[in-house]
Amino acid sequence: MLNQQTKQAVKEWSESLAGLGPILTGEDTVTPMSEVRDAYTRMLAKNPAPSGVSFIEVDMGGVPGTLVTPDNLETDAIVMYIHGGAYIVGEPAGYHGIGGNYASMLGARVYMPDYRLAPEYPFPTPVTDTVRAYEWLIEQGFDASKIVLAGESAGGAMVVTVMVAARNKGLPLPAGGVSISPWANLEHTGVSMTNREGLDPLNTKAGLDFLARTFLGDALPNHPMASPVFADVTGLPPVLVQIGENELMLSDAMRLATHLGDNRVRVNLEVWPGMFHAWHFFSTLQPEAVQALESSVVFMKQALRDAAK
């Protein structure tokens, strides 16, 4: 299913974080965390933005961010894209590819908040920053019914978490959300954590357990604002969950979709056979990446139409 170029790119993605563990455990006291984060950003930035989009830095109510604007602006709708990286690495500079693709495919502006990262800023700071960025959009006068959220991995979980927090704060809710490869259950109890071990080219259960503990600090992994499978999701707008069938997170992503559906949230679940974590990044290499992006854009457009009624 995966071509050789994609396999090589995924291998480089995995290797870009090889130095993270020794730094977090204290085994490496020389290399600064910034060096690993910069390497991660450079690796993701190899996934190019499409032509016809521009990027500027913005202040989202005290949270740094990046605004992506397509040359062909077709709508006043907005996407807030929430990056992943286990709440430990990642920044908008590495996400020009997927952010640019959404801007181009929707003809819409895309805002990408640059939330603070663990372990310097453990839970709940990354979540709090992202909620603040959404609140800022509302304060700017943007109609919530014209906003859609999207994100991958930790950002995929925060798509739902931000909605829950916004509802709890009495903020108007967005039209919908796209949750890509969500890291939705930090207890890691899904059966795929075992039976996809070795098939997932990017993650191991031991590695995810370690990253979760680094992010959580003193919080429990079943905290509803860290693991949305435990959150009260009643009243949320429609959500699309997209997950690769080879992912360790498969079962927990399916559990998130079931949890949403059980609580009367309209939910679409797409399981993509043979795909890996956040395969959407590799739109210039893998046909399924383009297809998944296109499917999520169809969902976004429908959610925006429904919210406008």
Hey, how many other C-beta atoms are within 10 angstroms of the C-beta on 19? 16
Bridge partners (DSSP) of residue 149 are: 80, 177
Provide φ and ψ at 202, rounded to 5°. Answer: -115, -25
For residue 64, the surrounding DSSP H or E stretch is: strand 64-70
Peptide bond into 224 cis (omega under 30): no
Alpha helices in the chain (DSSP H): 4-15, 20-25, 33-44, 96-106, 125-139, 154-168, 192-195, 205-216, 250-262, 287-308
Residues listed for the chain: 309
Q: Which two tokens stand for residue 2?
A: 């995966």
- Determine the Cα–Cα distance for residues 68 and 55; give it in Å rounded to an integer: 5
Residue in the structure block whose two tokens are 């974590």: 277
- Among residues 158, 155, 159, 165, the alpha carbon closest in space to that of 147 is found at 159
Q: From CA 149, how far away is CA 145, in angstroms rounded?
A: 11
Active site amino acids = 153, 247, 277
CA torsion sign for 173, 174, 175, 179 is: negative
End-to-end CA distance of the chain: 41
Question: Strand pairing of 64-70 and 53-59?
Answer: antiparallel
Cα(21)–Cα(28) distance, integer angstroms: 9
Structure tokens at 216: 């959580």
